[in-house]
Chain A
Amino acid sequence: MFPVLQIGSIALPAAPLALLLGVWTGVWLAEREAVQLGLNGDAVASLVLIGLVAGLIGARVGYVAQHLGSYLTDPLGVLSLNPATLALLPGLLLGGSAMQIAGQRKLLPLWRTLDALAPGLAMLGVAVGVAHLASGDAFGAPAQLPWSIMLWEEACHPSQIYEIVGALLVLMIWRWSPSRQQLDGVSFLLVVALSAAARVFLEAFRGDSWIIAGGLRGAQLVGLAVLALCLAALPRLTQRTLPPPSVAGAAEPTCVARQETAP
C-alpha cells in the first residue's frame, strides 16, 4: 500500500492520482479509437469531459439531497467537497444522461461512440485496480500461497494485483479482437462483458466482499447479471444491421459489416 506519494516536500494522494491518470489515458485511447472508427475524436473527448463534470455535480447534489437537514443548517458546507460526500448512483445517472444528450446534439451515433469509449473503460478498470493497491481497499482474503502478500500480519491474496491483471487482459483482448471494428456495439459490449466476467471470477479472492444472504457475494451476482445482459444483447447487434427481408428465399441472415452500414 502506498496511500501517499512523497515527492520532496509534496505529498500526493496516490489513489486519486491513479484515477486521474487512468481517466486521462482512457480519454486519450477513446479519442484515438474514435478517429479509427470515423468519428470526431475531439467530440468524443469532450463528451467524456461533459460526463465527468455532470457526474461530479450529480454525485454532489445527490449527496446533499440525501442529507438535506445537515446542509440546511450549514449551507456553505455544500462547497466543501470531499470524496466521502459524493453519492454514486445520482452521479452515474446525471453523468450518463448528460453524455447521451451531448452525444445526440453532436450527432454522434450511440453504439459507435460507445465502441470508441470501450478502451477508455478498460483503462479505467486498470486505474481502479492501481488506486485500490495504493489505498489498500479491495483487499484480499487470507490465503497461504507463494504469491500471498502480508496484510495486517496475515498472508492474503494480492486481490488488487489480480484486479489490475484482469483489467489489462480485458484491454489486450479488446486490442486484438478481430471483430472490434466490424460491427457497431461489439467492442463496447465485449469490454463490459469481459469486465463483468473478471469481477465474477476475481471477487472470490476478496476479503471485503459485500455479503448477502447465504454467504453469496453481491458483486458476483451483479457481475453475472451484467454478463447475461451483454450475452443477450450481442446477437441483437447483428439483427439490428440485417438487410430488409425483401428477397424471397434469402440465405441465412448475416450481419452487415461496419464499413457497409456507415453513412
Chain B
Amino acid sequence: MVRLLNDTRRWRLLSLAVLLLGTGWVWASRVPPSVADAGQFPNTHVGFPAPDFALETLDGATTSLAGQRGNVLIVNLWASWCGPCRAEMPTIQRLYDARREEGLTVLAVHGTFQDSEAGARAFAEELGLTFPIVLDRDGAVSRRYQLHALPSTFIVDRKGIIREVILGGPLSEATLQSKVDPLLEEAP
C-alpha cells in the first residue's frame, strides 16, 4: 500500500474510481418516495407511528391512543410495585398540570397482568394522579410496546409519531420537560 501511496498517479486514479463507485451506489440506493411512505408502519421505535390501543381506565371509561392525536402524549408503562415508577409519577403529574393547557396528555399504562387493579387504584389515590390510568389486563399493550424495563416512557408528537423512547427511570422533571417542550412548540 505504501508503494501505491508513493505512485501519485495510480493513487489518484484509484481514489477517483472508488469515489465514483461510491457515488453511483449512493444514487442507486436512494429511497424512492413510495417506499419511504410505505415504511411508516406502526412500531415502537423513534420516527414511527405509535401502535394504537384502546384500554379501560380506572374509572371504567375507554381511552385510545389514536383519540389523543393532535396532543403531545406521554405513554408511561408502570406497575405499583416498581420503585422508579413511584418516584417519577409525581414528576409526570406536575408536568401534566403545567403543560395540559398547551396540549400535553398522559396515558399511564398500568401492567395489571403483573400487578393488581387495587394496587393501581391505591397508587393513583396516594399520589393524587389526575391523568388517565389505563389497565393492561392481558398484557397485550405491554407486549406490543416490547416492554422490557419498568418504567418505560414513550413520547409521541402531535402527529402520533414516537419521538423519544426512555427505558428505565426515575425521570427528572428537567429531563421530561426538555423532551416535551420542543414538541409542544410544534404546530398541531
Show the binding face of A for B, using Cβ within 8 Å: 1, 3-4, 11, 13, 63, 66-67, 69-71, 73-80, 82, 84-85, 136-137, 139, 141-142, 152, 154, 177-179, 182-183, 186, 190, 197, 200-201, 203-204, 207-209, 211, 214-217, 220-221, 223-224, 227-228, 231-232, 234-235, 237-238, 252-255
Contact = CB atoms under 8 A, between A and B. Distances in A.
B175 A224 contact: no
Given A84-B166, A235-B5, A255-B5, A71 B30 contact: no
Interface residues of B, number: 45
B166 A152 contact: no
Given A80-B172, A224-B19, A232-B15, 13 more contacts: A11-B148, A13-B167, A70-B174, A70-B177, A74-B177, A77-B172, A217-B26, A221-B26, A224-B22, A227-B22, A238-B2, A238-B5, A254-B6
A197 B175 CA distance: 37
Contacts of B23: 224
A214 B30 contact: yes
Contacts of A231: 11, 15, 18-19
Contacts of A63: 178
B14 to A, nearest CB: 8
B168 interface: yes
B11 A235 contact: yes
Interface string B23-51: 10111111111011001010101010000
A6 B148 CA distance: 10
Contacts of A238: 2, 5-6
B2 A179 contact: yes
Interface in B63-87: none
B2 A74 contact: no
B30 A217 contact: yes
Contacts of A186: 1-2, 5
What are the nearest 4 A-B pairs in CB distance? A77-B174, A204-B29, A77-B172, A67-B178
A67 B177 contact: yes
A113 to B, nearest CB: 20
